[in-house]
Amino acid sequence: MANDEIEIDTDAIQRRMDGAMAALKTEFASLRTGRASASIVAPIMVDAYGQMTPVNQLGTVNVPEPRMVVINVWDKGMISKVEKAIRESGIGINPVTDGPLIRLPIPELNEERRRELTKVAAQYAESAKVAIRNVRRDGMDQIKKAKAHGMGEDDQKFWSDVVQDLTDKAIAAVDRALEAKQAEIMQV
């Protein structure tokens, strides 16, 4: 293999880092901030028709006012199962059933709970950073393998810098997202 044929797949590295960021945004969306959001019920799964199904596939999820999420369950036989799944999900909201509607009143967050949520957000961000660093390590391993196949010192330095630059940008994006989420949580 000639030196000029050795190239590192930075697109794959970027895609994997973007995947870590997307996962972080999903986790952040599930954190309750005191404001109602349809995404609060997104991770909740219901045992429906013999398989685990997301709540938003069993009914319409609306946010009619800042402190209320309403789920209009399509199949009346599923109402009790959806209600039970919400109670057992650990989101800390007590559902109120009103015919085919399940109302989720979002309680005001106290200072202590806000601080706990900022810590949870920081843990999610740290997990995303670990995932990004693992992608960086894989990229550096690709460079080492390419070196074994005859990649020159200059090329090795160039690709190492490229991978490090991608890593730095991804970590900075995680930090910005964490800062924004913590500000949102602490906002009264």
Give the amino acid at 30.
S
Closest CA to 188 of 69, 101, 95, 108: 108
Contact (CB, 8 A) for 151 and 6: yes
What are the pLDDT digits (tens) for 98-138?
A: 888 999 988 777 888 788 888 889 999 999 999 999 999 99
Q: Domains, the chain, ranges and CATH?
A: 9-28+110-186 (1.10.132.20), 35-105 (3.30.1360.40)
Of the two residues 91 and 154, the one the predictor is more confident about is: 154
Distance between CA atoms of 186 and 34, rounded to whole angstroms? 9
In the chain, the percentage of residues whose pLDDT exceeds 70 is 94
Q: Which class for 65: exposed (0-12), middle (13-18), buried (19 or more C-beta within 10 A)?
A: exposed
Q: What is the pLDDT of residue 15?
A: 95
Residue 45 carries which side chain, given as an amino acid letter? M
Q: Fill in the amino acid letter for 79.
A: I
Question: For the segment 129-175, what is each residue's pLDDT rounded down to a tens digit?
Answer: 999 999 999 999 999 999 888 889 999 999 999 999 999 999 999 99
> Has this prediction a pTM greater than 0.75?
no
Task: Tell me the per-residue pLDDT of 38-61, one tens digit each, with 9 for 90 and over.
Answer: 778 888 899 888 899 999 899 999
Kindly report, residue by residue over 70-84, the tens digit of the pLDDT: 999 999 889 999 999
Q: Are 31 and 17 in contact (CB under 8 A)?
A: no
What pLDDT is attached to residue 3? 44
